Amino acid sequence: MLGFLKRLFGARQQTSFGYAPAIGGGRTVRQFAIGDYNAKLMTNIKSIGSVEYTHILAVYGTDGNPVFFTAAEVNSMADHFGGGSHYLGVFNGAGHSSIEDNDKWANLEIFAEESIKIVKDHFGVSE
């Protein structure tokens, strides 16, 4: 499996980001700057592992290494326990937190708008 991922993404230098969404790719729909950071909005995520992701906003520092992620995570237990179809999750490098479960996180534009607000708040970007 590791060999497959290296071939898929090319040999990349390991970063010290820590805990991040486990994905094997996706379709990039937009790339843009948030302050001094670069962001990539992805959808149609190929999840690896038990958590399924619908959308991800990946944020990179000036060195090209990831520094923050938000993710629309499928709520696989919604049918059994209720709640929204997706969680809005945040990965800050040290860990993960779920902000809210709601059906609206399945919508790419709503997810992107809220994710950008979260990133700006996290990094103190006022623009």
What is the tens place of the pLDDT at every residue in 88-104? 999 998 899 999 999 99
Which pLDDT score is estimated for 13? Answer: 43
Q: Give the mean pLDDT of 72-82.
A: 83
> Taking the model in full, what pTM does it have?
0.84
State CA 13 to chain mean position distance.
20
Scan for tokens 């790339």, then name that residue: 31
**What token pair was written down for 30?**
């937009």
The rounded distance, in Å, linking the Cα atoms of 114 and 73 is 14
Q: Which amino acid is at 96?
A: H
